[in-house]
Amino acid sequence: MGDHNTFGKLGEQKAVDYLKASGYDIVKRNYRYLKAEIDIIARQGDILVIIEVKSRTKGFLEDVSHVITPKKVKLLTMAANHFVEEMEADVEVRFDIVTVIKHADHFDIEHIENAFYHF
């Protein structure tokens, strides 16, 4: 596994730890449907939360609006819809982004709720 993949998995684990500490229940990680992948599916009360994790090093920062492209939104929406249909559940769905920025000796985590809308 390449260094970027290892770092990405570490970032996802940091995001999971953060979400659990914030009261979220983790339902599924790395859910795949066709060409789409959802990093984390969680529940916060009655809301199903689809979470895209972006892990970066301090020297590589991007505006999130450039990272989550319309194509990515379409793929996430398609996969989320499939997951909800599989669950046969009537739930509210929210799309969040968690950024994990690695500094020399620590990680900064930012959770953006309702980061984008699926319509």
For the stretch 63-107, pLDDT in tens is: 655 677 888 899 999 999 999 999 887 889 999 999 888 887 888
Phi, psi of 36 (to 5 degrees): -105, 150
Residue 101 has what pLDDT? 87
For the stretch 5-30, pLDDT in tens is: 676 688 899 999 999 999 999 999 99
Residue 15 has what pLDDT? 95
Nearest to 15, CA basis, from 3, 1, 26: 26
User: What is the edge-to-edge ordering of all strands in the sheet holding 25-33?
Assistant: 25-33, 36-44, 47-57, 92-102, 107-112
Which domains does the chain carry?
A: 3-112 (3.40.1350.10)
Long-range Cβ pairs for the range 17-21 (8 Å, 24+): 18/98, 18/109, 18/111, 19/51, 19/98, 19/111
Residue 65 has what pLDDT? 53
